[in-house]
Structure 1
């Protein structure tokens, strides 16, 4: 994944948080600043009130009207950014009140108050459904134009463009927030469905592995019990059969569990992306690899290497960038699959290889591979190579972890 894609994910995450209530004081302050910066359009009404151009009663009424307008606007926008939103009718009622206050204040106090229509347009774009916002924003611009021409504002036509642009911009932002929130919920649903499917698969496999064996053991146990008084030799044969069946069932269960525990390279790549992004490390990962012709032992060994390497990058290196490459190479020893992990960090502490690298070296040697690790010009690089063809005698060699710190 490139830096641009990583930054796009960061922006998407921030937009997703916009659709949810703040989790802490920092997020609350960030949301407040995001909303408060748009209050710049209130500078003209505030300047008009403090300039002394109105009577005392008009100034007091102006301050009260402005406070009511800002209070309703902030309440509407803040509530819309949280999970407990106002109902549709209440949102429409608040928007109508904002529009009425904007018209009333502009009619009575003059053209400096036309900026209030920008907030009405923002409220329409950010809180209304897309179909409703598509006509509410132009309607707000039209009302603003009529009021502006009535109070003698020469730049009313220019303000129309501003009201339209800011309203439809908020419509786009609001739609993007809704989409990302729905996407996040969909991802959670997919993850839950995947977990349920994995449970069903595990239950089905265990049933297929143990159902027949346990039924046979039960049957032979009953048979041995009936044979024991009169035919002890035949009962002993049944007991021997029970022992063989139970041993074979134990082997089958161990093989199944080993298969479940064996890491997959595609899964480790996805996990590396999540871990590095969460640690603030810019990542560049290969596309989902095609490993159809790669032995399971070789793939599992590379998956362990990637997990250990990413762990070291996150915990010890202090790197800000990490590049992962997966390529096929033709060597004198035959076709090899090469995984390289390079970062711009310190490579961790210590002058020699740690337990993690030692364990990975042993793991790779069992499948006929090799490991190279060391500092490069701008960081640390780890390269692991495994053969594309299975090594004789390597089956099951990587089923159990070997001294890895992953």
Structure 2
């Protein structure tokens, strides 16, 4: 008898992470699934590890191909799936035990064609986690043209995706996915989730947004090689062409215009990220950032955090106070910012300062950092400052 759900895991040289991934899937409270492991030409022990698991659990099927990339690996899995519903998990990630029980319950009860949940972004190197959810209220949406499409790719209120283009925290209808994978450009390797998801969204009539997270997406900084610049330029073109083709099919002119406008903005963000990744150009710092830290005037200040927006905060502080140090929990591999050396966080006890200003964008992360600074380095709470900056992107009117 066919299972209700097919879970597809593409794998390439994942010997260090695949066991935790498999254990989290096989340990689900929901068990009526088949697990398709797609070996994308791995050269390490990934396949042997999976074969050992397959001998113990009959729900596992292993598929193999030469190394052809993520889209083709997922396509192989989708075409081999025997269930009407499909979910994806990446081989270096893991999921909480009740994920598929909750997602399948919603899928069956509502009859929707896509369930989208939140996602945890885990940064092991920096030892923190951020929860991200779609920028829509929880519930069932059946008028996508009016309720979802206007802010699907870009929500100006949040300066972010409306519907996050990750496949791994969602459930899909298999037959519609097969149509997508038969048509999309398999040359896309950066932004392939966006190309797949938004193409899928143009072919369904309903979606359920769940404001709850189960999936742990592991992010290792610097995972994409800097030598890929020529391929990235071509990739962006293929990505743009693929999504433009889908949006051009929309009959309603107002909806089509809204989607194409969001697409232009999204592509600018892709290019901005590419410039930062390849050449260290911080496009975020070129936008307008508004801060208000009256406490720091003429004081000795430590700036903590060398991530997004940190250069803009540095520029604000340097004319108002004496920046005695710029610290980061994981400074390795981070370039000197504004000609200022980035030091490790464990230098805090050696520093004489009046205030420590945290430079991160997330309120939840700032609270976590503050707690850690107080516990590990005994920094007084009233010396630690953070605020949500007002940011206007350089692309705001694009």
TM-score by length of 2: 0.24
Q: Which has the higher contact order (CA 8 A, sep 6+)?
A: 2
Which one has a larger percent helix, Structure 1 or Structure 2?
1
Higher-Rg structure is 1
Query: Given the two structures, how large is their TM-score scaled by the length of structure 1?
Result: 0.23
